[in-house]
Amino acid sequence: MKKKNVLMMALSLCLVAVIAVGGTLAYLSDTDGAVTNTFQFAAGIDVTLSEDQPVPVKNETITPNSDKGYDYTNVVPGQDLNKAPKLTVTTAVDAYVFARVTVGANMTLGAITEGWLPVEDQTNVWYKAVTGQESVRDLGTLFTKVTVADMDLSEVTGEELGDIKIEVAAVQQSGFADAEAAYAAAVEDNVFQAA
């Protein structure tokens, strides 16, 4: 039995020696250079709201004000007034351009220009989807006139008819399911800028 133990021990030592020698032997290997990727954000989005000096329709006086808009005086009930807010956008990415209009109680907007779509479940909010391009893109006017309510002036308290406030925002399309989701994010993040 002792011979058997000695033999087993000798075989074990031989096995350990073979493993040790095998571990130091040369092996096949290869390597390749690393690949580095760089990423850069898009140039951004620039949306602009402007308006040319409106032409009087009747006897109203139209003068520029400090809020980039115009003051209309000498207006009469039922009168149509020229007002044509224009939008432009420069964007390297696909985007939604939104126009939100708050209208005074005694005023109504004229027809919204073709191509502007209403934002679902919103009042007086429209958008255009634009594809990315580096140059300035003219989106045209949102509307071209407003109408003063046909009312009895003897029942009006004060001289103001109410303001029309136009706000604009542009939001990338990527990351949003649709225009409504992009609009909700713009409202939540307070990205709208008043004219």
Q: What pLDDT was estimated at residue 15? A: 65
Please determine, looking at this structure, whether the domain spanning 45-194 carries the CATH number 2.60.40. yes
Q: How far apart are CA 29 and CA 142, in angstroms?
A: 67
What does pLDDT average to over the chain?
84
Q: What is the pLDDT of residues 114-146, one digit of tens each?
A: 999 999 999 999 999 999 877 888 999 999 999
Whether 133 contacts 160, CB under 8 Å: no
Q: What pLDDT was estimated at residue 25? A: 59
Q: What pLDDT was estimated at residue 21? A: 59
Which pLDDT band, with edges at 50, 70 and 90, does 18 fall under? low
Q: What is the pLDDT of residues 77-114, one digit of tens each?
A: 889 999 999 999 999 899 999 999 999 888 899 999 99
Q: What pLDDT was estimated at residue 16? A: 64
Q: What pLDDT was estimated at residue 195? A: 47
Q: What is the pLDDT of residues 174-193, one digit of tens each?
A: 999 999 999 999 998 888 76
Least confident segment among 30-39, 73-82, 172-181 = 30-39
Q: How far apart are CA 89 and CA 74, in angstroms?
A: 34
User: In sequence order, what E strands does 12-153 have?
Assistant: 45-50, 61-64, 70-73, 80-82, 86-91, 95-103, 107-109, 117-118, 125-130, 133-141, 145-148
Q: Which residue has the higher pLDDT, 22 or 36?
A: 36
Q: What pLDDT was estimated at residue 138? A: 92
pLDDT above 90: percentage of residues in the chain:
46
Q: Which of 95, 104, 86 is nearest to 129 (CA)?
A: 95
CA of residue 61 relative to chain centroid, distance: 36
Q: Which residue has the higher pLDDT, 181 or 66?
A: 181
* Residue-range domain boundaries for the chain: 45-194
Element (H, E) at 4: helix 2-23
pLDDT above 70: percentage of residues in the chain:
82
Does the global pTM surpass 0.85? no
Q: Which residue has the higher pLDDT, 133 or 149?
A: 149
Amino acid letter, 129? A
Residue 23 has pLDDT above 60, yes or no: no
Put the strands of the sheet holding 193-194 in their side by side order. 117-118, 125-130, 95-103, 164-172, 193-194
